[in-house]
DNA sequence: AGAAGCTCACTTGTCGACTAGTCGACAAGT
DNA sequence: ACTTGTCGACTAGTCGACAAGTGAGCTTCT
């Protein structure tokens, strides 16, 4: 008989850990492995042993497996049955797909913010983030966080729940090349100017200009990727 | 021969070929559960017991759990620790997010096809699909497949690998309401006309018209959802 | 009767063991 | 020297059992 069960509650979950099904053990393992992949501590192509990982985390293989499944879903791991689990190589095809998706979504987002206006709190937040970006110009890792924060602030303001989650899924592809590009000279000042151009266009309520500014900004990534693909042929598979 | 000698023998396993992360067993289970959810055999809010499912599929809980994790990732299942796994209710917020993502991507896709032109094979395919759609007008389930095929044909032609996979992930949200709407009168002829308008605009190499036509087409979904939300308050949570 | 407290049958989470499959090393045979 | 076969040390996939938590219904006390 129909069970009148819950599953209907959609209130914002508690801060921090929430928004996620598996146990906190699985979440922790997933996060740590993901971090090690994105920061290239686990290099593309490297084999990850479930046994070894479970040993490292002090658990059995079960939680590790469940974390790996999620990473497969994110495209960061590839599993070959009976052979091993491998850190997926950075794929130019995957990068182009991620860029296409991100551009389509972020353009749609800034157009909407420019059309319906940015909320007061979002305006303050955006300005604060831009100020912060200037402050941490010299620290690439901090800037990376502030960069994400800017894009996320815009996404969060259009009133569509979890839209950032969709972008974040695709973004994992970028994160590795972004980490790769930290040493090489990234013109951070240019990026900040582009952020400012995007925000200005939004505040001017000019969707067309906002779209153009966002496209210009996102095309910056492409340049970096192409340069890095030449520098790191072992990490990046040119499958275009 | 030593009796303990394990020289490679093959005991055929209960499934066919794989080609997917995770074993074919998991893939099969995932597909069957997903189908049952999308066709509302498993109703929103219903509790799914890992034990019961493993019994049904004749496996242990492990493969079932891994299939459920994937379904959680797709937003079709919610797991409450120590309480149960529940078919997620159809959420208007999730629907709006899915619609936003789909519109952003499909508009970007048709704009690109209109700009760079549709390949000869894609043109033929699109026409064939449209012809097929007219043929199966009276059979909603067949039309549903042909509808997907049309959108997919466009997506596949822009030369970005796996772009359809991104759309398909969001599409699972729609699939349930689409199934719900099958009984109620769906103006199939209108949808076909809209498809034709999209294709015409693309062939005319008119990105602006293609974009408008696609937006009109996708807005059709919204009308259906709003109607169904009123008819099935038990299945749809109005969390906008 | 009514309410507090407990029991117990559930749930998911985790574990260690076992299975089948794969690959490299090495030995036997050509 | 080269091929072929076997072994053994891996791998992921699966399994059944147990741990931890939950909640409905019964019991028991007031």
Evaluate if residue A76 carries a pLDDT over 50: yes
Instruction: Residue B8: list chain A partners with CB under 8 A.
Output: none
For residue A223, the model assigns a pLDDT of 83
Evaluate if residue A157 carries a pLDDT over 60: yes
Evaluate if residue A64 carries a pLDDT over 80: yes
Tokens of A26: 């699985």
Collapsed DSSP state (helix, strand, coil) of residue A40: coil
Distance CA A182, CA A193 (A): 19
| Chain A touched by B105 (CB under 8 Å) | yes
Among A5-9, A27-31, A200-204, whose mean pLDDT is lowest?
A: A5-9
Q: Nucleotide D6: nearest residue by CA–C1'?
A: B7
Evaluate if residue A47 carries a pLDDT over 70: yes
Evaluate if residue A67 carries a pLDDT over 80: yes
Question: What does the mean pLDDT of chain A come to?
Answer: 87
pLDDT in tens for each of the 240 residues of chain B? 333 333 223 333 333 333 345 578 899 999 999 999 999 999 999 999 999 999 999 999 999 999 999 999 999 999 999 999 999 999 989 999 999 999 999 999 999 999 999 999 999 999 999 999 999 988 888 999 999 999 999 999 999 988 999 998 888 888 998 888 877 766 889 999 999 999 999 999 999 999 999 999 999 888 888 888 888 888 888 887
For residue B2, the model assigns a pLDDT of 31
| Chain B touched by A7 (CB under 8 Å) | yes
Mutate: best of B16, B21, B214, partner A, most A CBs <10 A: B21
Q: How many CB pairs under 8 A join A and B?
A: 108
Continuous segment of H or E residues that includes residue B10:
none
Distance CA A137, CA A142 (A): 8
Q: Nucleotide D20: nearest residue by CA–C1'?
A: B82
Chain C positions with an atom below 7 A of a protein C-beta are 10-17, 19-23
Distance CA B96, CA A173 (A): 25
Residue B80: phi, psi to the nearest 5?
Answer: -105, 115
CB-nearest to B84 from A4, A5, A166 is A5
User: Once rounded to an integer, what is the mean pLDDT over residues A108-136?
Assistant: 96
Alpha-carbon distance B6 to nearest alpha carbon in chain A (angstroms)? 16
In sequence order, the β-bridge partners of residue A84 are A80
Whether the CB-CB separation of A222 and A99 falls below 8 Å is answered with: yes
The arrangement of strands across the sheet holding B77-80 comes to B47-48, B84-87, B77-80
Q: Does the domain at residues A92-233 carry the CATH identifier 1.20.120.530?
A: yes
For residue A178, the model assigns a pLDDT of 87
Q: Does the domain at residues A24-88 carry the CATH identifier 1.10.3720.10?
A: no
Neighbouring CB atoms inside 10 A of B66's CB total 21
Q: Which fold has domain B91-237?
A: 1.20.120
Shortest CA–C1' contact from B47: which nucleotide?
C11
Residues with Cβ within 8 Å of residue B240, at least 6 apart in sequence: B92, B93, B96
- First and final CA of chain A: distance in angstroms? 53
Strand C, CB < 7 A, residues 83-102 of A: 83
Residues 132-191 of B with CB under 8 A from A: 160-163, 166, 170
User: Once rounded to an integer, what is the mean pLDDT over residues A119-146?
Assistant: 93
Alpha-carbon distance B101 to nearest alpha carbon in chain A (angstroms)? 7
Shortest CA–C1' contact from A81: which nucleotide?
D12
If one compares B174 and A85, the residue with the highest pLDDT of the two is A85
Evaluate if residue A238 carries a pLDDT over 90: no
Continuous segment of H or E residues that includes residue B113:
helix B92-116
Q: CB distance B163–A72 less than 8 Å?
A: no
If one compares B53 and A234, the residue with the highest pLDDT of the two is B53
CA of A81 to C1' of C30 (A): 35
Domain positions in chain A are 24-88, 92-233
User: Once rounded to an integer, what is the mean pLDDT over residues A143-166?
Assistant: 93
Instruction: Residue B86: list chain A partners with CB under 8 A.
Output: 5-7
For residue A3, the model assigns a pLDDT of 36
Shortest CA–C1' contact from A25: which nucleotide?
C13
Instruction: Residue B47: list chain A partners with CB under 8 A.
Output: 3, 5
């Amino acid at each position: 008989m129909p069970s009148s069960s819950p599953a209907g509650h959609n209130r914002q979950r508690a801060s921090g850990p929430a928004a996620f099904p598996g146990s906190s053990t699985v979440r922790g393992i997933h996060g740590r492995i993901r971090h090690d992949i994105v920061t290239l501590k686990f290099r593309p192509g490297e084999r990850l042993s479930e046994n070894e990982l479970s040993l490292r985390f002090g658990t059995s293989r079960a939680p590790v497996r469940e974390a790996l499944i999620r990473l497969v879903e994110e495209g960061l791991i590839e599993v070959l049955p009976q052979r091993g689990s491998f850190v997926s190589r950075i794929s130019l095809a995957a990068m182009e797909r991620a860029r296409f998706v991100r551009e389509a979504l972020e353009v749609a987002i800034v157009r909407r913010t420019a059309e319906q206006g940015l909320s007061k709190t979002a305006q303050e937040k955006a300005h604060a983030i831009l100020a912060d970006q200037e402050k941490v110009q010299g620290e690439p890792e901090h800037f990376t966080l502030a960069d994400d924060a800017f894009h996320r602030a815009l996404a969060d303001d259009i009133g569509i729940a979890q839209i950032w989650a969709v972008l974040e899924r695709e973004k994992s592809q970028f994160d590795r090349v972004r980490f790769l590009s930290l040493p090489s000279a990234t013109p951070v000042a240019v990026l900040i100017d582009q952020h400012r151009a995007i925000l200005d266009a939004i505040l001017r309520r000019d969707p067309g200009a906002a779209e153009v500014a966002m496209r210009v900004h996102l095309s910056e990534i492409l340049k970096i990727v192409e340069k890095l693909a030449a520098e790191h042929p072992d990490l990046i598979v040119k499958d275009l």
